[in-house]
């Protein structure tokens, strides 16, 4: 049975349960909930605030539920507050050499102005975090996950100290005076062009540059987490409310929260760290082998390379897959079974797809059961439901080439 109608309440329960679970862990450690510079702005605009990755973040807004917000992003454009993400800058003549010891990207040959998705790995080849690294003339601009900030910083600083002791010239600094917003959707470029005063047609996906937005010097990257065209803007914190208001003044732009962000990224087949990736998962198992360029496969040099590189040729015991699920939505933790009833994996993320009007899920299954079209089952509330392995992204991406 396919999902033909999604109510606001049903989507809310699907999306917020895993999010709040991840956040309350921080609260249990007596860590105070942080606020981004847009907190009062969200409240003023009807944002329903929930704890996420140690921050109070909007899950949706009073003028538009999650389902409507999801469709609005696919059809027009939405602004997401992503100021909780960790922004940092790496400088010094040995910056690329140093950072290549931590991530699987080829930074030596990455052109200036271009970025790449990469992963931090540990000595066992597991993924510490996923990250975007962007090459600039005099620095690397790095964005990683808020929920991993403490362990990322500890990891980077440990290896930085070791690298510097050996004579390496590199500095690493957290960017604390800028906030981050993302504008996503097919109308995102048109909305941003009104503030930068020029065409963005030659600004390609996964590229970044410094530009003035409404007269404010900002860093702009053409990237995002929805599968749509869009931009991430690093804005001086004292100007973030003004810039957000000016973008929101465009008739095609609305605010969006974590609820729509999660269903959008799932349709795009994108991973959420802590759900679909963790320190026991290698890039090959996660279907992220493409993040390891040929040059790094030949030379290695990153943590865990001795575990990861043999997997590229020799295979792995489990693989990340996309699933279309019949019946009720399969949430994270649901067992995946083969047709003989044997448990062969676990769902890590799942929700109804507003675009496909079907239940979609991401999970890991034993190698051999990962091929497109393979018929499987999932167990949801002790009920066995049919599922089929499906190519990701579930919804075609619309990145600007």
Q: Which residue ranges make up each domain of the chain? A: 31-316, 318-396
**∠ CA 320-321-323, rounded to 5°:** 150
Domain 31-316 has CATH 3.30.1360.120: yes
Whether residue 239 is annotated as binding a ligand: the answer is no
b/e map 344-371, b = 16+ CB within 10 Å: bbbbbbbbbbbbeebbbbbbbbbeebbe
Q: What is the pTM of this model?
A: 0.92
Residues in the chain: 401
The answer to whether the 31-316 and 318-396 domains have the same CATH topology is no
Distance CA 156, CA 169 (A): 15
pLDDT of residue 12: 36
**389 to 23, 206, 227, 338: CA distances (angstroms):** 30, 29, 20, 11
CATH class name, domain 318-396: mainly beta
How far apart are alpha carbons 238 and 284 in whole angstroms?
Answer: 42
Helices 66-75, 8-28: inter-axial angle, 10-degree rounding:
100
Q: Which two tokens mark 68?
A: 């409507």
Taking the chain (401 residues) in runs of 10, the rounded mean pLDDT of each run is 31 38 39 94 98 97 97 98 98 98 98 98 98 98 97 98 98 98 98 98 98 98 98 98 98 98 98 98 98 98 98 96 98 98 98 98 98 98 97 97 88
Tell me which residue has tokens 């994996």: 345
CB atoms closer than 10 angstroms to residue 137? 6
The predicted structure's pLDDT at residue 16: 35
DSSP helix/strand/coil, 186: coil
pLDDT of residue 30: 58
Query: What does the pLDDT read at residue 368?
Result: 96
Query: Is residue 61 within 8 Å of residue 160, measured between CB atoms?
Result: no
Which pLDDT does position 31 carry in this prediction?
Answer: 75
């Amino acid at each position: 049975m396919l999902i033909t109608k999604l109510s606001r309440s049903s989507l809310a329960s699907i999306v917020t349960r895993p999010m709040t679970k991840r956040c309350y862990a921080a609260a249990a450690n007596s860590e105070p909930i942080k606020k981004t510079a847009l907190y009062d702005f969200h409240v003023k605009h009807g944002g329903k605030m929930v704890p996420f990755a140690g921050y109070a973040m909007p899950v949706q807004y009073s003028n538009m539920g999650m389902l409507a917000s999801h469709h609005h992003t696919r059809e027009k454009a939405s602004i997401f507050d992503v100021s909780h993400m960790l922004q940092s800058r790496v400088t010094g003549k040995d910056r690329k050499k140093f950072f290549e010891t931590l991530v699987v990207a080829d930074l030596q040959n990455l052109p200036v102005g271009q970025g790449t998705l990469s992963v931090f790995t540990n000595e066992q080849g597991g993924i510490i975090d996923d990250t975007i690294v962007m090459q600039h003339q005099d620095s690397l601009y790095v964005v990683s996950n808020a929920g991993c900030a403490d362990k990322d910083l500890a990891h980077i600083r440990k290896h930085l100290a070791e690298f510097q002791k050996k004579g390496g010239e590199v500095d690493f600094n957290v960017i604390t005076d800028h906030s981050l917003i993302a504008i996503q959707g097919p109308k995102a470029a048109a909305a941003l062009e009104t503030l930068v005063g020029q065409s963005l047609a030659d600004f390609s996906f996964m590229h970044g540059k410094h530009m003035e937005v409404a007269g404010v010097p900002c860093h702009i990257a053409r990237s995002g987490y929805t599968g749509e065209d869009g931009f991430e803007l690093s804005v001086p914190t004292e100007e973030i409310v003004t810039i957000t208001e000016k973008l929101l003044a465009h008739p095609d732009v609305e605010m969006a929260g974590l609820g729509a962000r999660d269903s959008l990224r799932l349709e795009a087949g994108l991973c959420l760290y802590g759900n679909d990736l963790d320190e026991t998962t290698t890039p090959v198992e996660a279907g992220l082998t493409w993040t390891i360029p040929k040059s790094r496969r030949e030379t290695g040099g990153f943590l865990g390379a001795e575990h990861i590189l043999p997997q590229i040729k020799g295979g792995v015991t489990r693989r990340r897959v996309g699933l279309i699920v019949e019946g009720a939505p399969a949430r994270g933790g649901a067992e995946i079974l083969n047709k003989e009833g044997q448990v062969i994996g676990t769902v890590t993320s799942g929700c109804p797809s507003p675009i496909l009007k079907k239940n979609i899920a991401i999970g890991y299954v034993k190698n051999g059961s990962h091929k497109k079209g393979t018929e499987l089952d999932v167990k949801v509330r002790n009920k066995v439901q049919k599922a089929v392995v499906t190519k990701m992204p579930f919804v075609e991406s619309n990145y600007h080439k």
